[in-house]
Structure 1
Amino acid sequence: MSSNIYDTWWQQALTNKYELACASLVIMVMTLAISWYKKTTTSSLAPLPPGPKGLPIVGYFPFLGPNLHHKFAKLANHYGPIFKIYLGSKLHVVVNSVELAKVVTGEQDENFANRDPHIAGLATSYNASDVAWAPNNANRRHLRKILVHEVLSNANLEASNSYRQHEVRKTVKYVYDNINTAVDINEISFSTVLNVLTKIVWGKGLAKGSKYINLSNDIRKVVSGVVEIAEGLNISDFFPSLARFDLQGVKKKMEGQMKQFDRIFEKTIEERISRAEVRGKVEGKKDLLEILLELKDQKTGPSITMTQLKALVVDIFLGGTDATSAMVEWAMAEILRNKNVIKKVQDELAEIVGFDNIVEESHLPKLKYLDAVFKETFRLHPPLPFLLPRAPNQTCVVDGFSVPKGSTIFLNVWAIQRDPKYWDNPSEFIPERFLNNERLEKWDYSGTNPKFFPFGSGRRRCPGIPLGEKMMMHILASLMHSFEWSLPTGEEIDLSDKFGIAMKKKKPLVVIPSQRLTNKNLYM
């Protein structure tokens, strides 16, 4: 009976092909709609943000210039506070306003707390085993706690004060030995910071007779190599299907640098273990490496793996050197191009430090104007114009637009900190704006003020702020207090920038020092 009914229905359907086609189409559409609805959240019903049209396959790539932050700021002026852009096969969403930054880093911070690591970042972080690139999970939070407690706590920052003071004095002596000779501010700042970090991690280095006598030089080669490789765009980051071919050799080159780093690690770890066996674990202050090795060997309580240990140390070096030296250079360039700013900086140093004294860390909290100079420098020249890219763990709605899971999120801090809606004369260098308490706003690096967050905000805010701030202030205060500075004949200060792992000056700041303090002993 049922077979006859089926046959009758089929014969009737065949006699009316139009109705059959309509019914099939309706069933197909309904099936696809139900399937799509199940696979997405309600938020995906919102439209994607507006954005420029690109070309098939390559997206908007052919229309980009070398400085993405400049291009994205122009696109924001055209498309608004949030826009989408396809770079290769990947969808990027760029957030360009204070209000929407608060949504991403505050209201929906947990949804946007994951990273979208690029290939270079994965290589240097041992496949996201660090703090910077790791997913937002318990492992990352545990590593961050270790970093903050063992390196960046007030007690440990105070304990490493002697390292910073010693290295800054070495830098002052080096500059004094090169009086009336042009020096590269970025280079000498980079060296100072790197030497400090090396001592924090490895103490005073290796024992005499070690094959690795000059540890700083070995680390410098690796860090400089990593920075150089990571400077440009890697096509494989935007065409994941091509990543296995490593067309530009970025992965291979970066893995080569990390092998060098591993070799240094193996030697130093071997030396630390033998040192601990000889002296026991009670003699002298432990360096960071010894502390981390103890955590690795811990049988109970929190512990870390060797891979995490190495990734954490790499974070310290890469996060602390390139950006810090770049900001010292930017700040000094802005100071030297404005005579009024020079006078205010040096008058404050004369009052707080005095001409018969050297700059010490105890002076730094009192240098209010120099602090404002740095904040204004970070406002105009944030080291990471888009911070590190985020990735939503689920499809979200921001400002009425859908931000799909799997997309890459850029927080355009460079544009936000130049928004004329919130900043008077936003392109001008005016440190006094950070000394104005009329608005009673909190101007610091904590990320709680969405108008000013050069180190990020929310769960993924940079943890290295306390150490970086001390290093920058100490280096620049010492250079400005100990020397007068002039440009080589015929040169002018160029504030053009270039996009890279940290936003740097396109043309390095090369200036000539002359003695400012009368007592030559202050340079020794």
Structure 2
Amino acid sequence: MHSQPAMAQDVQSSYYLLLATILVLPLLLLKLRPHRHGVETNLPPGPWRLPVIGSMHHFVGALPHRAMRDLARRLGAPLMLLRLGELSVVVASSASAAREVMRTHDGALATRPLTAALRALHKDGFGLVFAPKGEHWRQLRKLCVTELLSTRRVRSLRGCRQAAAATLVASVTAQSSSTSEPVNVSSLLSTYVTDAAVRAVVGDRMGDRDAFLACMDEGAKVATGSSLVDLFPSSRLARALSGTARRAELYSAKMSRLMDVVLEEHRATRSATRAGDEEEDLVDVLLRLQTDGGLHIPLEIGTFRALITVRPRSVMRCERDLGDDAAVGYPKKLRRAQDEVRGAFAGESRVREEALPDLRYLQLVIKETLRLHPAVPLLIPRECQEPCRVLGYDVPVGAMVLVNAWAIGRDVESWGADAEEFRPERFDEGGRCAVDFKGTHFELVPFGAGRRMCPGIALNVAVMKLALASLLFHFDWEIPGGAAPHDLDMTESFGTTTRMKNDLWMQATVRVPLPSL
């Protein structure tokens, strides 16, 4: 359930920032002041740098997580230091480096750096993801772990997910039956995850769902937009050229108006019998806790908005589940997963979520997909608040610290010579049987670890499993036009999350139809 700051997400746009910097270079050289973090004796190694822009030229035309992995390999450094304008960025690219960042020095690195956009977006209150380390953050974390995203709460929202999955299956069925054309799996899964998330957060009682969803998408773009002021915080010119704060303020005002409507709708329909009901959506839970005095922090509108407008992101890897099985030459793996699902639900008309934990091979497919394709390849950044040494190197105070989960998941030292290969069976071999993504095995960290680990793992995985199992149960899948598996374009793009650059189109044949209503 992640959103990601501009410098972690949008380094790809550094090409345009580079052009802008060149245009104003004379003025910047006059305005820039030294940006010192104190005395460091042994900084991590880094690539060669240019004046003013530092290491930014290494990312022109490249996906940031891939470029960082390649730089780390060339340097032979699991920890490296980049300079992006005035910013110091430390990147961890191995399991050992990740362990020190997220466990050994978790306390020193437990706060988040804030871009200009994020500061403007959260001026009315922070949600859990970007709240600075402190009592407010600790109380929000407790709220999420014990109430909003607890195992019990996620289980109680099963009906929301099953309704969204039924809509997904019906949509694929309608498209595959009405035309011989392939279906857009990416688009349908995007609609599914949005539907499942909105049902969980606001239920079915929201008047203008489309406006709410459009505003959420707009917020993600505002939060992840690049800004010169983030690269050159000491430059008055950069601040003058940036319109980031203004765009963020306009978005906040729009979302606040929509949130007022959502809250009024929920207050109007809540009743004494509904309070505490197992069918509560997340807005209901917050309103109940507010009324009962169960909140130990002030529920400011900004905090409320931030808590309920973060959607599950990892489920977007469902398209990769299908794509990797079929596209990289592994149709036998696709068939094995499909046989397992159909065998478990033989004679039934749909997938039951409560039975999914018993499907072992499906669990392996999920693990392998998250290993190769974490939804947030550069985990949400941390900021160094006090002197610490990682792998013997000094981390500058004030530096942004990134964990390259994508590179760690493909590290041959952890995963062997076939680290780039999609092979779910690896998790059934030797010492990897116990490896999981819940924060204790640092060679697999798609959700992070430590104090800042994503608290929504259970919700993310539940949404993901149900979608994949439903698609495998109800349909047979083929590549359109009889193309070979390697002909599918699996190129990635980078944004709020990393996903396929081009939509995945597949030919679907109904094998287990949904029952008629």
Give TM-score, length-normalised by structure 2: 0.84
Distance in 1 (alpha carbons) for counterparts of 2:294 and 2:482: 65
Distance in 1 (alpha carbons) for counterparts of 2:345 and 2:122: 41
1:77 to 52, 73, 78: 73
Distance in 1 (alpha carbons) for counterparts of 2:120 and 2:187: 25
Q: Deviations over 1:252-297 (max 9, x none)?
A: 3344333332121111222333344898958885432233134345
Partner of 1:259: 253
Partner of 2:422: 429
Distance in 1 (alpha carbons) for counterparts of 2:288 and 2:118: 27
Partner of 2:296: 302
Partner of 1:87: 84
Partner of 1:327: 317
1:417 to 409, 412, 419: 409
Does 2:269 align with 1:269? no
Partner of 2:203: 203
Partner of 2:58: 63
**Cα contact 2:367–2:424 (8 A) shared by 1:** yes
Distance in 2 (alpha carbons) for counterparts of 1:441 and 1:514: 34
Distance in 2 (alpha carbons) for counterparts of 1:300 and 1:219: 27
1:450 positional shift: 1.0
Distance in 2 (alpha carbons) for counterparts of 1:123 and 1:511: 42
2:49 to 44, 51, 54: 54
Partner of 1:288: 282
Does 2:211 align with 1:218? yes
Q: Deviations over 1:440-472 (max 9, x none)?
A: 653222110011111001110000100110100
**Cα contact 2:85–2:231 (8 A) shared by 1:** yes
Rg larger for:
1
Partner of 1:158: 155
Q: Deviations over 1:181-220 (max 9, x none)?
A: 43322322222222222222222214xxxxxx342x2222
Partner of 1:9: none
Partner of 1:106: 103
Distance in 2 (alpha carbons) for counterparts of 1:522 and 1:168: 14
Partner of 1:402: 394
Secondary structure at 2:309 match in 1: helix
Does 2:135 align with 1:138? yes
Distance in 2 (alpha carbons) for counterparts of 1:508 and 1:393: 41
Partner of 2:471: 479
Partner of 1:375: 367
Q: Residues 413 and 374 of structure 1: is their aligned pair in 2 closer, same or farther, counting only changes over 3 Å?
A: same
Partner of 1:14: none
1:417 positional shift: 1.4
Distance in 1 (alpha carbons) for counterparts of 2:278 and 2:153: 15
Secondary structure at 2:321 match in 1: helix
Q: Deviations over 1:387-445 (max 9, x none)?
A: 01111111211222211110111112211111111212111111101122x21653222
Distance in 2 (alpha carbons) for counterparts of 1:253 and 1:494: 35
Secondary structure at 2:481 match in 1: coil
1:157 positional shift: 1.8
Secondary structure at 1:484 match in 2: strand
**Cα contact 2:124–2:303 (8 A) shared by 1:** no
Q: Deviations over 1:15-58 (max 9, x none)?
A: xxxxxxxxxxxxxxxxxxxxxxxx96xxx553211111211111
1:155 positional shift: 2.1
Partner of 1:183: 183
Q: Residues 461 and 127 of structure 1: is their aligned pair in 2 closer, same or farther, counting only changes over 3 Å?
A: farther
Does 2:457 align with 1:461? no
1:88 positional shift: 0.9
Partner of 2:27: none
Distance in 2 (alpha carbons) for counterparts of 1:111 and 1:308: 24
Q: Residues 513 and 230 of structure 1: is their aligned pair in 2 closer, same or farther, counting only changes over 3 Å?
A: farther
Distance in 2 (alpha carbons) for counterparts of 1:305 and 1:484: 48
**Cα contact 1:122–1:128 (8 A) shared by 2:** no
Q: Residues 45 and 387 of structure 1: is their aligned pair in 2 closer, same or farther, counting only changes over 3 Å?
A: closer
Secondary structure at 1:421 match in 2: helix
Secondary structure at 1:168 match in 2: helix
* Corresponding residue pairs, total: 468
Secondary structure at 1:485 match in 2: strand
1:94 positional shift: 1.1
Distance in 2 (alpha carbons) for counterparts of 1:135 and 1:262: 22
Distance in 2 (alpha carbons) for counterparts of 1:228 and 1:301: 30
Distance in 1 (alpha carbons) for counterparts of 2:168 and 2:347: 18
Distance in 2 (alpha carbons) for counterparts of 1:67 and 1:283: 46
> RMSD of aligned C-alpha atoms?
2.6
Does 2:493 align with 1:503? no
Partner of 1:336: 326
Secondary structure at 2:218 match in 1: helix
Partner of 2:10: none
**Cα contact 1:172–1:523 (8 A) shared by 2:** no
Which stretch of the first structure deviates more once superposed, 481-490 or 391-400? 481-490
Distance in 2 (alpha carbons) for counterparts of 1:121 and 1:373: 35
Could you tell me which amino acid in structure 2 is paired with residue 401 of structure 1? Y
Does 2:93 align with 1:96? yes
Partner of 1:192: 192
Distance in 1 (alpha carbons) for counterparts of 2:240 and 2:465: 40
Distance in 2 (alpha carbons) for counterparts of 1:357 and 1:274: 37
Q: Residues 516 and 230 of structure 1: is their aligned pair in 2 closer, same or farther, counting only changes over 3 Å?
A: farther
**Cα contact 1:230–1:500 (8 A) shared by 2:** no
Give TM-score, length-normalised by structure 1: 0.83
Secondary structure at 2:414 match in 1: coil
Q: Deviations over 1:295-315 (max 9, x none)?
A: 345568624322321221123
Distance in 2 (alpha carbons) for counterparts of 1:494 and 1:358: 31
Q: Residues 240 and 440 of structure 1: is their aligned pair in 2 closer, same or farther, counting only changes over 3 Å?
A: same
Q: Residues 423 and 357 of structure 1: is their aligned pair in 2 closer, same or farther, counting only changes over 3 Å?
A: same
Distance in 1 (alpha carbons) for counterparts of 2:169 and 2:277: 32
Distance in 2 (alpha carbons) for counterparts of 1:107 and 1:287: 37
Distance in 2 (alpha carbons) for counterparts of 1:387 and 1:405: 19
**Cα contact 1:381–1:414 (8 A) shared by 2:** yes
Which stretch of the first structure deviates more once superposed, 467-476 or 482-491? 482-491
Distance in 2 (alpha carbons) for counterparts of 1:52 and 1:376: 31
Which stretch of the first structure deviates more once superposed, 172-181 or 232-241? 232-241
